[in-house]
A and B are shown apart, each in its own frame.
Chain A
Amino acid sequence: MRISEQKLFNNKAEGIGILLFLVLAVLPLVLGIIYALLYSLGVIGLVSDGFTFAYWQRALSDAEFWLSIGYTFYIALATIGLTIILSLFLSLYFRKELRHGLPGFAIYVPLAFPAIVVAFLFFQLLSQSGLFARIAFQLRLIADSSVFPELVNDPFGIGIIGAHTFMATPFFTLYFMNLYRQANLKEFRQVAESLGASAFEQLRRIVVPVLLKRAFPTLTLYTIFVMGSYEIPLILGRQTPQMMSVLVIRKLRRFSLSTIPEAYITAIVFIAIIIALLTVLFKSKNFSYDLDR
């Protein structure tokens, strides 16, 4: 007698599940890239004159395009750098306090803020007529609002970096606290201490390297998230330089139709950067272990 192993449900259910994924997650991305690519090559679109590399040549020779790429990386890396420093400090110095009571509740509150509200808030606090300028005026530190330093819509993206850091720091503080517990770092530190390591050496040689190594995938994903952010640079940024997401939409919405192909070229380059970063990330041991498990 032949005993045949029954398959787990039938192929129809599996087919529907995977088809749903292809339709909602894969197909739109592929179609979007194809459309943007064809538009940028003059094959389709309102200004189409047939296949041409002219739009690519024009975009790649435009200083604003390269400045935008550099600015996007600068904002993302500055944000993630500041976030790492602040989150490590908070999670290591206030670890006990942040676990319960009011501090334990308060650290979660910024997670309830959408990006557009954080942008509005930072505009209200840091602008030249904002709350900090008013306090400075009342303390007679400034004689007029125009004397207050430009902290929003400034060339260095101080407001943008500040707003992103405000959003990211509580998350990474909690994340590092969780990792600290999961990695049994308390026990490691005790062993190191018994071997004569000072508190600073324990942090420098054990705690910080372990936390950063384990958090690498999440830190990379967050960097990508900051690179693609829109609301915060839209409200707190300036006309030049602009982050790539803001530049794409500005070029798409101009009255002149001639900038639309350049908008799609910027979008394609952005998508290519994200694909490259994700590919690197997928090769990370921590990440691939989770995927292949």
Chain B
Amino acid sequence: MISTGRARTFWVKVLIITLLFPVAYLLMLSLATQWIFPSVLPASLTLDRWSTLLGASNLFGSLLLSLGIALSVATISTFAGFFSSKHLAYHPQRSLWIRLSYFPFVLSPVIYAAVLYFYFIKLDLAGSFVGVILGQLLIAYPYSVILFSGFWSERIQQIEKLTQTLGGSRWQIYRRVLLPMAQGLLLVCFFQTFLISWFEYGLTTIIGVGKVQTLTLKVFQYINEANFYNAALASSLLVLPPIILLFFNRKYLFRQRW
């Protein structure tokens, strides 16, 4: 019995190391001065790469750009999805609308971008900040609709009618009833759509034509240049915000995002 308990503890430790190792590895690679075959550990560590990041480096610009795009996509898709999902959920064709919202959401973003690229060129949106936001919205918004569709129950509708009967205007119903009631879900949706945008590569590279250099594009660029140390640094910048988010609330990270 004791040996079974010890074996179990051992395997739990192995599991923890396996799960946490990637973060440690990326951080170590980003700090390494030189780490060539066949060394298992880097020759020495340096903070130089991280400190230059804080200067006016390209990577810092990409970090701000990714942040700007992700915050815009999350804000717009959360509120637009909340508003639309209400009308779709109470519509007699609810089932059809919800089914339709799955198609753009599960379709490969890069293939979706490939078939839409022509329209982005015609609208003069290819290769622009706004174009990338719009492109990512085409995925994040349907996700938001799906997420909120479960919120609009009969109970919510009755509460809404009651508030209306008591003289509440449309704006008051949203501000004082619906938004406070959906607060938790709004936060989940905001963070999830933020992550959809933050993690996005394929669609961004097509619609952005490589000009909108988000952090994910930087990672790929560094891999192509065989600059693995900078790729690790850019990767660490991508991974750290969601891990910080994980400290605050796990439910923001554990949701279906495909």
Taking beta carbons and an 8 Å cutoff, which residues of A are in contact with B? 6, 8-9, 13-14, 16-18, 20-21, 24-26, 28-29, 31-33, 35-36, 90, 94, 97, 102-103, 105-118, 120-121, 123-125, 129, 131, 133-135, 137-138, 145, 170-171, 174, 218, 221-222, 224-225, 227-231, 235, 244-245, 248-249, 252, 263-264, 267, 270-271, 274-275, 278, 282, 288, 290-292
Contact residues on B (Cβ < 8 Å of other chain), bracket: 35 or more
* Cross-chain contact B106 with A225 (CB below 8 angstroms): yes
Whether A224 touches B106, Cβ cut-off 8 Å, given contacts A90-B15, A116-B216, A124-B29, is yes
CA separation between A20 and B104, bound complex, in Å? Answer: 14
Q: Please give me the residue from chain A that is nearest to B242 by CB atom.
A: A112
CB closest residue in chain A, given B200: A114
Judging by beta carbons under 8 Å apart, are B242 and A111 in contact? yes
**Which residues on the B side are within 8 Å of A112 (C-beta)?**
239, 242-243, 245-246, 253
In the complex with contacts A28-B138, A105-B246, A274-B103, A20-B12 CB distance below 8 A: no
Q: How far is the CA of A123 from the CA of B228 in the complex (A)?
A: 10
Q: Return the 6 tightest CB-CB contacts between A and B, nearest first.
A: A228-B108, A17-B87, A32-B115, A225-B258, A112-B242, A114-B199
**Mask: chain B, 12-23; 1 = CB below 8 Å from A; 0 = not:** 100110011011
Which residues of B sit under 8 angstroms from A224, Cβ to Cβ? 106, 258
A8 close to B235 (CB less than 8 A):
no
Chain B residues whose C-beta falls within 8 Å of the C-beta of A252 in the assembled complex:
114
Candidates A18, A94, A222, A229; contact of B12 at CB < 8 Å? A94
Tell me the complex Cα distance, A127–B124, Å.
41
CB atoms of A221 and B239 under 8 A apart: no
Residue among B107, B201, B245 making CB contact with A114, cutoff 8 Å: B201
Task: A157 to B246: give the CA distance in the assembly, Å.
Answer: 31
Chain B residues within 8 Å of A138, by CB: 38, 40
With A25-B104, A278-B106 as contacts: A110 and B22 at CB distance below 8 Å: yes
B80 at the interface (CB under 8 A from A): yes
| Contacts known (A17-B88, A25-B138, A94-B15); A245 close to B242, Cβ less than 8 A | no
Considering the complex, give the chain B residue whose CB is closest to the CB of A275.
B103
Q: Is the CB of B202 within 8 A of A245?
A: yes
Q: Mark B76-114, 1 if CB is under 8 A from A, else 0.
A: 000010011011101100110111111110111111101
B interface secondary structure, majority: helix
Contact of B99 among A13, A115, A291 (CB under 8 A): A291
The residue of chain A having its C-beta at the shortest distance from the C-beta of B231 within the complex is A120
Query: A8-B90, A28-B104, A230-B201 are contacts. A111–B254 as well, Cβ < 8 Å?
Result: yes
Assuming the contacts A113-B22, A249-B110, asked whether A124 and B95 have C-beta atoms less than 8 A apart, the reply is no
Q: Is B145 an interface residue (CB 8 A)?
A: yes
Q: How far does the Cβ of A224 sit from chain B's closest Cβ, in whole Å?
A: 5
Residues of A contacting B157 in the complex (Cβ-Cβ under 8 angstroms)? 8
Q: Which residues of chain B are within 8 angstroms of A102 by Cβ–Cβ distance?
A: 16
CB closest residue in chain B, given A218? B256
Distance between B137 CB and nearest chain A CB, rounded to angstroms: 6
Q: Does any Cβ of A come within 8 Å of B190's Cβ?
A: no
Q: Which residues of A contact B160 (CB under 8 A)?
A: 8
Which residues of the other chain, B, contact A275 by a CB distance below 8 angstroms? 103
| Cβ contact of B104, chosen from A29, A35, A229, cutoff 8 A | A29
Q: Is B50 an interface residue (CB 8 A)?
A: no
CB-defined contacts of A9 to chain B, threshold 8 Å: 170
Q: Which residues of B contact A249 (CB under 8 A)?
A: 110, 114, 202, 206
Residues in A neighbouring B16, C-beta threshold 8 A: 102-103, 106
**Are B116's CB and A32's CB within 8 A?**
yes
CB distance from B55 to the nearest CB of A (A): 23
Evaluate whether A117 and B238 lie within 8 angstroms (CB atoms) in the complex, with A107-B19, A221-B258, A271-B111 already known: yes
**B220 at interface (Cβ–Cβ under 8 A)?**
yes
CA distance A113 to B26 in the complex (A): 11
